[in-house]
């Protein structure tokens, strides 16, 4: 039996809980503990045996942790944490502000290289698995178009926007990929589609006492940027239904490449995810990449890495021999 790979979790929200849960399903990994900015005794982990430490004690664990999984947010936490921790630890994070990835990469690459650490950024499903499939599509069918659809998924930003409307007590918004648009793409016609051609928006709203449903609906469907340009439906429900039917965090989507290998031969590559829990799936991806991070560091592959830099075999618990025999 090889030594277990020792993992630390930094930050303990939905994503951190998902990582804690996922590690239980990976017998070659061992959770050293959760590191939090809160008072450790106020944090209740999912599993009784999980240790909780204060962030300030992290540097004492330099030699006791192989990979840190950073579970903070992309807006405020990771831009600070990853560059700082990259000089002491191998890390994996889910930095998902697409437009800022190049500068984030540079900010973590320098300290990681200088300290012989391997730092995997922007791991998850988008960026992450979806990005890999966009790359496969382009590389295998250079003469083609790639289409990314999101959903059905709960959108936090749009749900917040609904809740700011006068007369709305509570509500959620789902982004729904357009079935028509997906079928068009699958048929290989390579249509031109904007984000709003590809998605519709579905709202579930609880009204304040005495609020006028017609007025609220009108305010939502005409809201600029968020809803005005989309086919939006508004459903009114009571609080009990909202709690019972709309408190999970489903998500998913499709990456479809339609291309021609020659003038007459169309080929369609499709990757899709249907997730009951967005944070738990993202966590599962982070955990598999933590294994790859450890292995790449052991073979001297230092610096910042993304999902594009990781050979698939490094993600598996199985040996290369076993993989070739069993699933190639």
For residue 307, the minimal CB distance to its own copies (Å) is 7
For residue 295, the minimal CB distance to its own copies (Å) is 12
Question: Which of 1, 2, 25, 63 touches its own copies (CB under 8 A)?
Answer: 25
- DSSP per-residue letters across 98-129: GGGHHHHHHHHHHHHHHTT-EEE-S-SBTTBH
**Residue 91: strand pairing partners:** 68, 119
Q: How many CB atoms lie within 10 A of CB 230?
A: 18
For residue 40, the minimal CB distance to its own copies (Å) is 23
State the virtual CA torsion across 93, 275, 12, 297 in degrees, nearest 10: -30
Q: Is 316 in the site for its own copies (CB under 8 A)?
A: yes
Binding marks (x or -) toward its own copies, 84..113, rule CB under 8 A? --------------x--xx--x--------
Please tell me the distance from the alpha carbon of residue 228 to that of residue 75, in angstroms, as a whole number. 26
* Residue 212 phi, psi dihedral angles, 5° rounding: -95, 115
Question: Which of 74, 159, 233, 277 touches its own copies (CB under 8 A)?
Answer: 277
Q: Is 242 in the site for its own copies (CB under 8 A)?
A: no
Q: Is 186 in the site for its own copies (CB under 8 A)?
A: yes
Residue 55, Cβ density class (10 Å: 0-12 exposed, 13-18 middle, ≥19 buried): middle
Distances (CA, A) of 63 to 7, 108, 113, 224: 11, 20, 18, 52
Please tell me the distance from the alpha carbon of residue 154 to that of residue 146, in angstroms, as a whole number. 23
For residue 28, the minimal CB distance to its own copies (Å) is 10
Please tell me the distance from the alpha carbon of residue 82 to that of residue 89, in angstroms, as a whole number. 9
Q: Is 245 in the site for its own copies (CB under 8 A)?
A: no
Residue 242 or residue 315: which is nearer to its own copies going by CB? Answer: 315
Question: Which of 40, 190, 269, 295 touches its own copies (CB under 8 A)?
Answer: 269
Q: Is 45 in the site for its own copies (CB under 8 A)?
A: no
Q: Which stretches of the chain bind its own copies, using CB under 8 A? A: 18, 21-22, 25-26, 98, 101-102, 105, 122, 127, 129, 131-136, 138-143, 146, 186, 188, 261-262, 264-277, 280-281, 283-285, 288, 291, 306-313, 315-318, 320-321, 323-325, 327-328
């Amino acid at each position: 039996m090889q030594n277990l790979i020792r993992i630390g979790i930094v930050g303990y929200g939905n994503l951190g809980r998902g990582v804690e849960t996922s590690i239980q399903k990976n017998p070659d990994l061992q959770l050293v503990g959760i590191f939090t900015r809160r008072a450790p005794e106020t944090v209740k982990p999912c599993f009784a045996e999980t240790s909780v430490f204060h962030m300030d004690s992290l540097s004492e664990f330099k030699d006791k942790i192989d990979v840190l999984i950073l579970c903070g947010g992309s807006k405020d936490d990771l831009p600070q944490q990853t560059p700082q921790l990259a000089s002491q630890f191998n890390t994996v994070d889910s930095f998902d502000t697409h437009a800022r990835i190049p500068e984030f990469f540079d900010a973590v690459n320098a300290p990681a290289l200088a300290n012989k650490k391997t730092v995997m950024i922007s791991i998850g499903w988008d960026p992450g698995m979806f990005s890999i499939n966009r790359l496969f599509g382009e590389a295998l069918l250079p003469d083609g178009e790639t289409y990314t659809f999101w959903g059905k998924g709960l959108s936090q930003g749009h749900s917040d926007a609904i809740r700011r409307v006068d007369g709305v007590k509570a509500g959620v918004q789902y982004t729904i990929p357009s079935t028509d648009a997906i079928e068009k793409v699958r048929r290989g016609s390579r249509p031109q589609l904007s984000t709003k051609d590809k998605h519709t928006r579905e709202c579930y709203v609880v009204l304040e006492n005495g609020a006028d449903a017609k007025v609220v609906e009108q305010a939502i469907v005409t809201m600029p940027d968020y809803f005005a340009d989309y086919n939006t439906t508004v459903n009114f429900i009571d609080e009990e239904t909202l709690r019972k039917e709309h408190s999970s965090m489903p998500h998913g989507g499709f990456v479809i490449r339609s291309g021609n290998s020659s003038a007459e031969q169309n080929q369609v590559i499709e990757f899709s995810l249907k997730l009951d829990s967005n944070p738990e799936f993202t966590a599962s991806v982070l955990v598999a990449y933590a294994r790859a991070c450890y292995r790449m560091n052991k073979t001297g592959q230092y610096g910042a890495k993304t999902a594009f830099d990781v050979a698939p075999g490094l993600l598996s618990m199985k040996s290369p021999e076993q993989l070739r025999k069993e699933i190639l």
